[in-house]
Structures are given as structure tokens and as C-alpha cells.
Structure 1
């Protein structure tokens, strides 16, 4: 929830939710204009919440459009179209709020059909918790959502290390059901695959009696 934001590190008693929710509000109201997009702050806020609910998943612009739906007065039609969502996401990427994790294609002529939908992450998972106004209790009460945020945290750190080596971070999923959370590929073609898990079984090192 706190992330690595200097203001929150220096002042540990400061509320990360209030601080980062204010930052996201500034992004919606001002920063996107500097990115060349005249956007409705209410729509942007709804999209940020939809992105937060779908962190580290292969979510389409169409699904985000439905989840960020803000009906116009007297109508049942969403104001946020898939095309608008795409433009908003592009702008949010330019101001370093969200990042794309592209799909990895290891074999150009593979017969296995690849899933090419990207995953989306906030540049820091703390922004996702702020968008959802989720405190520690809410995260511990929804371990599935907590697990996706943990995956996003791992991808963020892998991206930092990979960029230092001139590499990039992808994900992989194909029609056979094979899935990899993160694939780090370097410029010379070398790669490593990573599975991210929030928990696991403890292994006892105490010798068992014969």
C-alpha cells in the first residue's frame, strides 16, 4: 500500500491511501492534459478503478469499457467506449501511471495459438490499492486480489532489473493452457520464466524420527 514514494517513506505515519488517491485525482484532472488528452476526470477515475480491479490480468479495452461504465442521465448507454478507454490508457502510459506487459511469442512458426492480449499494471501496486480505497483488512480478506497485486509487485521489480540488462518482461499463455506469469528476455535472445505465488507450504528441516 505504501510503495516506494518518498513522501510516504519519509513520513511513515502519513496515510498512503489518502496521499495516493490525491495523486491519482491530480492525474485525472491535470496530468493527462499535459499528455495531450482532454479527458473527463470522472471517466478517468472510473477507468483507474477498473484497471485496479483487473491488475495483472489480460483485460480487454471492451471489458474495461463495461466496468468503467458511467451511464448518461436518463440513458442506459455507457459513456466510456472501448476507443476512449484505449486513448485514456495510452495517455496514462505516457504520464507513467500504468504499464503494459506484452505477450511473449517464442516461436514465430509455432502451431500453438498464442494469446496476445497484454496484461496491465500500475507502475506501483500501491496506486491500485489507492484507486480501490483498499486497506490492509480488505486485502487480507480477498487473497485472490491480493495475489494479483503481489504478482504486479514482482513484475515491477523484474522490469527494473531487466531494463538494467537491456531486457524486457513479458507474459505467456497459449491455447494448450500453458501459462507463465513473467518471462524476462534479454537482447541476445536469452530468457527466463518466473511463476509468482503469494504463499506456499512451509518445509520443515527438523529430522523425523526413524
Structure 2
């Protein structure tokens, strides 16, 4: 955590202005990163994040916000995730906003001023931190295969925290669940989404959509197995293998 906090200080006090030699406010940078962290792995709108920032720094404009976040993206501090648009259902019921994410969850923890002790009692926030960590690892370990990450969220509850697509067309639907008690909840949506693809293919037989090659729940547990519904339960620590 000391390394992450030091890196946060460098970002705010030096890096934010170094790349293009435009002087930016370290305090505003810190506020933007904190608000981003508090909305980690959610579909929070830019207007909501800016409103949060403006509580402590009045007069902050959307133009300024976009300038700062663009700088943070250019040197790989934040990296949002785009929505997956399969040819199923109406596009009007698929959430299309970007999922707010940091390149590494340790930066988010430092930005929000969290600690191991505070996360132990705030498991909801810890769950978002864990999802960010899974997304980081999925990005890294799939790079050699041309992996691309997105997310899917249907307005009425059907979702996948991550959709990992490879260059050869294969893709996996993935839910990230920190505790073993959440595995059933995480696994529930994945066969439902597969069934949605199957029903769409029966209706549109000329251009069928490929069925998911894998349905995965990434968990913080230590046991890997395949459920009766075909969902693979995989400890996140196994990704590197």
C-alpha cells in the first residue's frame, strides 16, 4: 500500500502535467481519482462523477474533467470497459455506458483512502476491487491471444461482469464473485444469457450468433470445478497457469 500511495502522489503531483507539459491541479486530480475509485466497476455517468468532485471543488467543468481523465487514460491509470453488443434483444434495453475501471486496483484503493481493515468490513467495495483485479488479470493473460474485454448488462437483470473475446471468434462470459457464497448468484445469469443466444439463433437462422465457448465464475476460493449447468468455477489465482 505504501508503493500504491507513493505512486498516487507521483500521478497527482508530477505525471498529470508531465506528458504534455500542461500544468494541472494536483488536488483536482486527486479528487477525480477518488470519485472514480468510489465508482469502480460501475456504470456511473461522467456527470455523476463530476458532481461528486464539484462538492469539494466548485466550478469544475465537464471540459476540465474530460481533459484530466484523458490524461489519466493516456498514461494508463484508468481504463474504462465498453459494452458488448451481441445481436440479441433490442439495443435499447442493453446498457451502453462505460464501466469505470483502473488499470490496477491498488491505485483505486490508494485513491479512496481504503485499507485492509476498512475493506474487511466493507465487502461490497471489496467486491468491486476484486472485480477490477480480475479484469486486470484477464487483460494481461489474454493479450497473447488477442483478447478483448467488454461487459454485458441487460436492463432487467441479465448480465456478465466481463466478456472475453479472442481474435478467432471464441468468447467467454464471466462473472467475478469474491466469496463462495456468491457463486450460485454469479452462475445464474450465464446459462440464461446462453439461452438467450440460442433462442435468437432459432429466430434468425441465417446469421446465427456463436454460443459462448466458456461460462466462468472467477472466485476468490481455492477449488476449481465444473457445475452441473456447465459453468466453470475458477479461482482467480489459477489465471496465471
Please report the TM-score for the alignment, with normalisation by the length of structure 1: 0.79
Partner of 1:49: 34
Q: Distance in 1 between matches of 2:53 and 2:133?
A: 24
Indicate if the aligned counterparts of 1:182 and 1:193 stay in contact, CA closer than 8 A. yes
Indicate if the aligned counterparts of 1:69 and 1:79 stay in contact, CA closer than 8 A. yes
Deviation at 1:124, TM superposition (A): 1.1
Q: Which stretch of structure 1 is more off in the superposition, 30-39 or 45-54?
A: 30-39
- Against the structure 1 CA distance between its residues 132 and 155, is the aligned structure 2 distance closer, same or farther, given a 3 Å change threshold? same
Count of equivalent residues: 181
* Aligned mate of 2:121, from 135, 141, 160: 141
Q: Distance in 1 between matches of 2:125 and 2:5?
A: 19
1:20 maps onto 2:4 in alignment? yes
Unaligned runs of 5+ in 2: 182-220, 224-241
Partner of 2:48: 63
1:185 maps onto 2:171 in alignment? no
Partner of 2:14: 30
Q: What's the CA shift string for 1:11-30, capped at 9, x where partnerless?
A: xxxxx2x3322211211221
Partner of 1:75: none
Q: Distance in 2 between matches of 1:71 and 1:167?
A: 39
SS in 2 for 1:180: strand
Deviation at 1:180, TM superposition (A): 0.8
Deviation at 1:181, TM superposition (A): 0.2
1:111 maps onto 2:95 in alignment? no
Q: Distance in 2 between matches of 1:199 and 1:51?
A: 24
Q: How does 1:92-103 map to 2 (within 5 A)?
A: 92-103=72-83
SS in 2 for 1:119: coil
Deviation at 1:35, TM superposition (A): 2.8
1:166 maps onto 2:138 in alignment? no
- Against the structure 1 CA distance between its residues 70 and 182, is the aligned structure 2 distance closer, same or farther, given a 3 Å change threshold? same
Q: Which stretch of structure 1 is more off in the superposition, 138-147 or 175-184?
A: 175-184
Q: Distance in 1 between matches of 2:143 and 2:59?
A: 38
- Against the structure 1 CA distance between its residues 28 and 42, is the aligned structure 2 distance closer, same or farther, given a 3 Å change threshold? same
Deviation at 1:136, TM superposition (A): 1.1
Q: Distance in 2 between matches of 1:145 and 1:115?
A: 22
Higher normalized helix content (fraction of residues): 2
Indicate if the aligned counterparts of 1:122 and 1:128 stay in contact, CA closer than 8 A. yes
Whose RCO is larger (CA < 8 A, sep 6+)? 1
Q: What's the CA shift string for 1:104-124, capped at 9, x where partnerless?
A: 1111x7424221111122111
Indicate if the aligned counterparts of 1:124 and 1:153 stay in contact, CA closer than 8 A. yes
SS in 2 for 1:184: strand
